[in-house]
Structure 1
């Protein structure tokens, strides 16, 4: 794949994608990474979407890492083993960032269970970062109105693109909050794109039923 496809001229530089797939799926009761959609496990689906953006794709594994690694056979992705995956999402973000080559200028954090996202939506984030390389680019969605009828605060979350200057703080993350502390600290530097499908994930049996129903309605 041509390197020039994945970077613009000048200061925008090179993007990497870190797919977080290390969790134990305790609430779901089965590995969410292996749930199939359109004939492929989610871990494969997300890595394949990431590869439409860049050759620099890093998949962070943890729980049942050998089994997950087997699913990625044949995909040109770098597998990163997070031995501390039980310490929470922050440890996986730090592990992924630590694995990046020195010439990476920004990293997109993508969750393995954001199953409704398509490559086109990830490309919108990438294009926004190319136009505003100093900003933190992330997904957002309107939360509607509150009990008083006022517009509620916009939800914000991954996928999120962090420029390289934030890597040291991502490496220092701990706990279950993921990158939220960094987003809160630099709230004035956020470029939020309206991507409501980013907030449909797979944590509970009820959400699994939603995915399965979608699969039945759209078998191809």
Structure 2
């Protein structure tokens, strides 16, 4: 029997309450073309080599899913799941995504993406996947700009049990501190630190992508 080629899943975290932009929800905010932030983020991810793409929902799940489905340029439609205990913190949302990715035997790693980072491009995602598949013995891959690491972060399957065991609202930050020296690095631009989680940043996002 032919063994399936290893692949990398993308897990998009989209379960948060967006309290810093309340009453607006950042993932529903439109860019200059009217495309919601979550859909803009997914456009680059679904165009990449990542497969499957898993979107983890929680707060206002139905609205976020509807907004994420507005883009007609998606060639690789994502899978939507809901983290039942998302209110317990980012770690539980991440665990739901890792659990879903684990059901695919060919998945050798998972790229953890944040729903509010729409400037991350397909090229960076593909370069991170290529770097990981070339060095599958590493814990994962991080993007770096001017000596600083950012998001997304790619974790190898060997790290899945540790990711599932995380608690609280810090996500995988403790694991990053522990394993960063052993992770592969991929050069990136300032977009790896650019999120949109304040009213001023949402106003900036509303002016972006005017050319489509």
| 1:149-184 Cα shifts (integer Å, max 9, x gaps) | xxxxx3223211111000000111111211111111
RMSD: 1.9
1:118-143: CA deviation from partner (whole Å, max 9, x where unpaired):
1112112112112222221012222x
Q: Distance in 1 between matches of 2:128 and 2:18?
A: 27
Q: Is 1:193 matched with 2:186?
A: yes
Q: In structure 2, what is the Cα distance between the partners aligned to 1:197 and 1:120?
A: 12
Name the structure 1 match of 2:141: 137
Shifted more, 82-91 versus 102-111: the winner is 82-91
Greater Rg, structure 1 or structure 2? 1
SS in structure 2 at match of 1:158: coil
Count residues in correspondence. Answer: 197
SS at match of 1:161: strand
Alignment of 1:69-108 (within 5 A): 69-73=65-69, 76-100=77-101, 101-103=103-105, 104-108=107-111
Q: TM-score, normalised by structure 2?
A: 0.85
Structure 1 residue 102: deviation in Å? Answer: 3.7
1:219 deviation in Å? 4.2
Map 1:56-205 to 2 at 5 A. 56-73=52-69, 76-100=77-101, 101-103=103-105, 104-135=107-138, 136-142=140-146, 154-195=147-188, 196-205=190-199
Contact kept in structure 2, 1:33 and 1:113, CA below 8 Å: yes
Higher mean displacement: 206-215 or 28-37: 206-215
User: 1:55 & 1:88 partners in 2: Cα distance?
Assistant: 26
TM-score (norm 1): 0.82
Cα displacement (A) at 1:212 = 2.5
Deviation at 1:73, TM superposition (A): 4.0
Distance 1:199 1:17 in 2: 18
Counterpart residue number, 1:3: none
Q: Structure with the greater relative contact order (CA < 8 A, sep ≥ 6): 1 or 2?
A: 2
Q: Deviation digits for residues 16-48 of structure 1, max 9, x if unmatched? A: 000011111100121111122343212122223
Unaligned segments of structure 2, at least 5 residues: none
Find the residue that maps to 1:193 and give its secondary structure: strand
Q: Deviations over 1:163-213 (max 9, x none)?
A: 100000011111121111111111221122232211010111121222223
Distance 1:126 1:102 in 2: 17
